[in-house]
Amino acid sequence: MLFANAGRGLGRDFLHQAFGEWQRVIDTNITGTLRLVQVIAQQMSARGKGKILITGSIAGLIPGTYQAVYSGTKAFLDSFSVALRHELKDSGISITCLMPGATETEFFRRADMLDTKVGSMKKQAPAEVAQSGYSALIDGDEKVVAGWKNKIQAFMTNVLPDSALAEMHTKQASPGSANH
């Protein structure tokens, strides 16, 4: 089994994000994840079995205003994991995408988002998210959105236009939104 979970976020507006900061997000979330997945999946392929859980996010379903680079990396992973799953469908390797919503971890502090609404609100317990991901991995599911509130949010992304989703995200993630 491989749990490709390492990742980092980055808040604030893109024009004020340093090149090295957003490059690190892309390098970790996309390049690092793909490098790891490829090397391990090649070994699994030689054995004819394996299970891989890739941590994407419901953030990948939403144009993530004030978190634009991060959300783009998660859109990449949400898409990549389903595509790879279907490439590998006859290989004995199963790929599952875990799509959490806001979760109580170090993520928002590291992303400099503690002054945002999403960064300061009560969030889902990480053990619940991990349990959802593990169960889906064992069952060989294509993807799992962790928690019923996030399932509703994920459903809404199919209904609302991207512009409305981006404006809703502003309310959650813009700097200082914790106090509004």
Ligand X SMILES: NC(=O)c1ccc[n+]([C@@H]2O[C@H](COP(=O)([O-])OP(=O)(O)OC[C@H]3O[C@@H](n4cnc5c(N)ncnc54)[C@H](OP(=O)(O)O)[C@@H]3O)[C@@H](O)[C@H]2O)c1
Q: Is 60 in the site for ligand X (CB under 6 A)?
A: no
Please state the closest distance from residue 2 (CB atom) to ligand X, in A: 13
Is 134 among the catalytic positions?
Answer: no
> What is the spatial distance between Cα 132 and Cα 134, in angstroms, rounded to a whole number?
6
Closer to ligand X at the Cβ: 35 or 47?
35
Q: What is the DSSP letter of 92?
A: T
User: How is 130-144 classified by DSSP, letter by letter?
Assistant: HHHHHHHHHHT-SEE
Phi, psi at 92, each rounded to 5°? 85, 0
Residue 11 binding ligand X, by CB under 6 A: no
Q: Which of residues 115-174 bind ligand X (CB under 6 A)?
A: none
**What is the distance between the alpha carbons of residues 175 and 12, in angstroms, rounded to a whole number?**
6
Question: Which residue out of 2, 25, 66, 70 is catalytically annotated?
Answer: 70
Q: In what order do the strands lie in the sheet with 2-4?
A: 2-4, 50-55, 93-99, 143-145
Size of the site for ligand X (CB under 6 A): 16
Q: Does 57 help bind ligand X (rule: CB under 6 A)?
A: yes
Tell me which of 50, 64, 72, 100 binds ligand X, using CB under 6 A.
100
**What token pair was written down for 170?**
């502003």
6 or 164, CB closer to ligand X? 6
Interface contacts to ligand X, rule CB under 6 A = 5-8, 28, 32, 55, 57, 59, 100, 102-103, 105-107, 110
Q: Which are the catalytic amino acids? A: 70
